[in-house]
Amino acid sequence: MNSQHNGNKPTRIRIIERLVRAVVGWALAVVFCAGFPTPAEAADYSEPFRPQFHFTPATNWMNDPNGMVYYAGEYHLFYQFNPWGDKWGHMSWGHAVTKDLVHWEHLPIALYEENDVMIFSGSAVVDWKNTSGFGRDGKPPLVAIYTGHHTKKPLQNQHIAYSNDRGRTWTKYPGNPVLDIGAKDFRDPKAQWHEPTKRWVMAVSWPLERKVRFYASPNLKEWTHLSDFGPAGAIQGIWECPDLFPLRIEGKGGLEKWVLIVNVGSGAPAGGSGCQYFVGNFDGQRFTLDPGSPKRESELVSQGKALSQASARPAAEAALWADWGRDFYAAVSWNDVPKRDGRRIWLGWMSNWEYANDVPTAPWRSAMSVPRELALRETPDGLRLLQRPVRELGTLRGRHHRFGGGAITEANSWLREQALRGDSLEMTLELDPLAKGDQGLKLFLSSQGATVVGVNWEQGEVYVDRARSGSQAFHPKFPGRASARLPSRERRVKLHLLVDACSLEVMVNDGEQALTTLTFPAAAERGLEFFGPQTDTRVGPVEAWDLKSAWK
């Protein structure tokens, strides 16, 4: 109906029409604001594939973790959320909190898409000194810094919003955007207070340039450009979701180095999206790489080293990878974890952009990894990232099972006796070096196949293979195998497994490497079985725990 047509109508009809429109508009607003089910109401967490100790939204689509900040006894997790569907779209910030990193409480959506601006990824800080002036009654505000993704023009810029009630309700700042370089792709701000320079610093990704841009601000509202980092490391895929933090070096009495996280949209070693990191120094202005960082082939050539020497390593080796599995992306860490705790804790989105929209779960889509504690370790190659599941997950441990070590046949009879729950399980497993062949554990085993975790001593690799496990047909890129280089072919390997309904997280040698993998076994596929080149190949010791649900 056009306005000209409208203009010819008698006044009485126009008034009735306006009234009808007002009533319909009001009804829609009520449905929108009050009628939308809060996630907790909508699901019982016992659907097929529903993780029992990982965070999932009760319904709908989720991707990146956002706005991770600790405040007043709560770890906040905001996340990319579609309020209207189970595929990517209408990006808003969903919200949940946890007091113990294990049990989650769902909260109403924090920030909605509005006025043709979606709420893309970003971070949140506690503005302890009230530099923004958003504080009230002497209490510091929580300030969220996120990317406004404009749906009607090719533009992404940075916005802020604040909360005076422990993150329960949010007000978008009327002066938005607070940072705009006129770019179509410019996103995922991660802000933090930088004490040495007494100002806020922020890392923002410039995806197509393969750069992270650093900015500083006195008040979170005005930002000055400091420097850029990149291209470096893995540059095949676009750069997204950066993080920057100081991290303790294990066994070095509190000595720290800075870590820059850069998630890449494609080109990760196992295919598709993945998470790389850089180790170095941040002086409040600029991030500089540590001398132990891997070199790209072009750098080696410019240093006069033969290409053959460089290309003896797989291309992916030019970068450092936080996780070698297919399903760990957009990982960022919590701001403001209290000093007395001292940990740097993060989690990642347990999926891969290659098939995330198609995974066979309902009524939700996607899970987060478990929260992991980070540290650095000195190795002959330089400083490398360590990741371990947070100790709080230990509170979910139920029945304990122990096998002291022995031949595979004995280990398998032990498995049968124990009747372990193969879908909600924690296990540590030690394997001795073999001259030949591969060995490991089959999970979700049935006559149809299994998800296999193994060590191939000849190839010098640890791997997870889901190529013959459960549901695969939903996407041609889903089947496959992911592997990481074994730190040593001579040293015994310790695998730490977390199995939860549709996922498997493997940490190698107390967190030196991680492989995170989704897998969608049929309901009947819960078998476990050790395998190796011979029936008398030794496995163990093995420790295992049935894990309780964090949602019931």
255 exposure class (CB count in 10 Å sphere: 0-12, 13-18, 19+)? exposed
* Angstrom distance (rounded) from CA 441 to CA 342: 35
* Interface with ligand FRU (CB under 6 A), residue from 86, 113, 188, 327: 188
End-to-end CA distance of the chain: 52
CA angle 335, 551, 450 (to 5 degrees): 95
Q: Does 192 bind ligand FRU (CB under 6 A)?
A: no
Closest separation in Å from C-beta 187 to ligand FRU: 5
**Identity of the residue, 241 or 415, whose beta carbon is nearer to ligand FRU in the bound complex:** 241
Sole binder of ligand FRU in the list 86, 240, 323, 546 (CB under 6 A): 240
Pairing of strands 527-531, 481-485: unpaired
State the minimum distance, in angstroms, from the CB of residue 546 to ligand FRU: 33
CA triple 334-110-365, angle to 5 deg: 80
Nearer to ligand FRU, 104 or 353 (CB): 353
Q: Is 352 in the site for ligand FRU (CB under 6 A)?
A: no
Q: Tell me whether residue 147 or residue 503 sits nearer to ligand FRU (CB atom).
A: 147
Question: Which run of H or E residues covers position 506?
Answer: strand 503-508
Hey, which bits of 40-141 come out as E strands? 60-71, 74-82, 92-98, 104-111, 117-126
350 forms part of the interface with ligand FRU (CB under 6 A): no
Shortest distance in whole angstroms from residue 118 CB to ligand FRU? 8
> Which CB atom, from 80 or from 516, has the smaller least distance to ligand FRU?
80
Q: Around 357, how many Cα atoms within 13 Å sit in the side-chain half-sphere?
A: 7
Residue 211 Cβ vs ligand FRU, minimum distance, rounded to whole Å: 14
Amino acid symbol at 272 = G
Q: Is 316 among the residues that bind ligand FRU (CB under 6 A)?
A: no
Given 64, 188, 336, 500, the catalytic residue: 64
- The reply to whether 510 belongs to the active site is no
Considering only CA atoms, which of 265, 299, 258, 251 is closest in space to residue 282?
258
**Is residue 39 classed as helix, strand or coil in its secondary structure?**
helix
* Interface with ligand FRU (CB under 6 A), residue from 53, 56, 64, 71: 64
Interactions with ligand FRU, residue window 389-408 (CB under 6 A): none
DSSP 139: B
Least separation, in Å, of the C-beta of 454 and ligand FRU? 30
CA atoms of 291 and 442, how far apart (whole Å): 40
3-state secondary structure at position 529: strand
Using the minimum distance from each CB to ligand FRU, give the nearer residue, 147 or 513.
147
User: E strand or H helix at 446, and its extent?
Assistant: strand 438-446
Count of Cβ atoms closer than 10 Å to residue 299 Cβ:
14
Q: How far apart are CA 362 and CA 86, in angstroms?
A: 8
Please, what is the minimum distance in Å from the beta carbon of residue 335 to ligand FRU? 17
187 lines the binding site for ligand FRU (CB under 6 A)? yes
| CA separation for the pair 461, 504 (Å, rounded) | 17
Closer to ligand FRU at the Cβ: 118 or 547?
118
For ligand FRU, the binding residue among 60, 63, 123, 451 (CB under 6 A) is: 63
Residue list 88-127, contact with ligand FRU (CB under 6 A):
91, 120-121
Alpha-carbon distance 90 to 206, whole Å? Answer: 22
Binds ligand FRU by CB under 6 A, chosen from 143, 241, 504, 547 = 241
Number of H helices, E strands in the chain: 5, 35
Q: Is 211 in the site for ligand FRU (CB under 6 A)?
A: no
With contacts defined by CB under 6 A, how many residues of the chain interact with ligand FRU?
12
User: Least distance to ligand FRU from the beta carbon of 318, Å?
Assistant: 22
Question: What is the x/- site pattern for ligand FRU, positions 412-431, by CB under 6 A?
Answer: --------------------
Catalytic residue ranges: 64
Q: Which residues bind ligand FRU (CB under 6 A)?
A: 63-64, 80, 91, 120-121, 147, 187-188, 240-241, 330
